[in-house]
Amino acid sequence: MKPITILIADDEAEIAELIAMHVKKEGYQTVIALDGKEAVQAVQTHSIDLAILDIMMPGMNGYDVTRVIREKHNMPIIFLSAKASDLDKISGLIMGADDYMTKPFNPLELMARVKAQLRRYTQLNQPAAVDQKVLEAGRLAIYPDQRIVTMYGETIELTPKEFDILYLLASYPKKVFSAENIFEHVWGEAYYEGCNTVMVHIRTLRKKLGEEKAKNKVIKTVWGVGYSFNG
């Protein structure tokens, strides 16, 4: 079995080494990058299974690195940053991160989140014993095995979480899912009050699907209840 390799990108070497120490204790391999450009090069030259990225790095910041990674890869990305406002967290999720932790951080909590992301990523990318059915609805086609979504034959680039949300809703047409239902299905964790993660992902998903201009919305909002697939 191929060893799991985790990219740690932070311009503070001491923090990078601290994270690497805890990562190695879990039996994972590490690649350390001290700026954004090194992080991009690491992804291009190594088989990376998960990336832990600082946001404020010289050369290229964490947002820029994520943008480049998402062009070709769907491995989990965790932002670890001193930027702690809700707007910063929302921006990180919109850019394509799967999780966001603020500094100072608890290394044990970080490792718990790393393992949770790796577990979901591994499960989602295991070959299915039987091909899953392609879901087609109007202008959309969803290919579960390949994790690809097309609109009028053109591929729509979605983050792993955006794909999971769309596939969940499309698998149960007309069924209304609350934000709590969606969070627990997609993130595999208990929903906590005040969490707006689902709302942020729905917003970016709609934008990528061109929902602003479409007369018949693919994702329907049921006010006060949740969301449903209207394909």
Task: State pTM to two decimals.
Answer: 0.61
* 103-132 pLDDT tens trace: 999 999 999 999 988 988 776 655 444 446
**φ and ψ of 5, to 5 deg:** -120, 130
| H-type alpha helices, 56-159 | 62-70, 86-95, 107-124
Residues 6+ apart with CB under 8 A from 221: 227
Structure tokens at 70: 């998402």
The better pLDDT of the pair 123, 24 is held by 24
Residue pLDDT, tens place only, 139-176: 789 988 888 999 888 898 998 899 999 999 998 888 99
pLDDT bucket at 214, cuts 50 / 70 / 90: low
pLDDT recorded at residue 83: 87
Would you place residue 74 in the very low, low, confident or very high pLDDT band (cuts 50, 70, 90)?
A: confident
Mean pLDDT of 52-56: 95
Binning pLDDT at 50, 70 and 90, where does residue 55 land?
very high
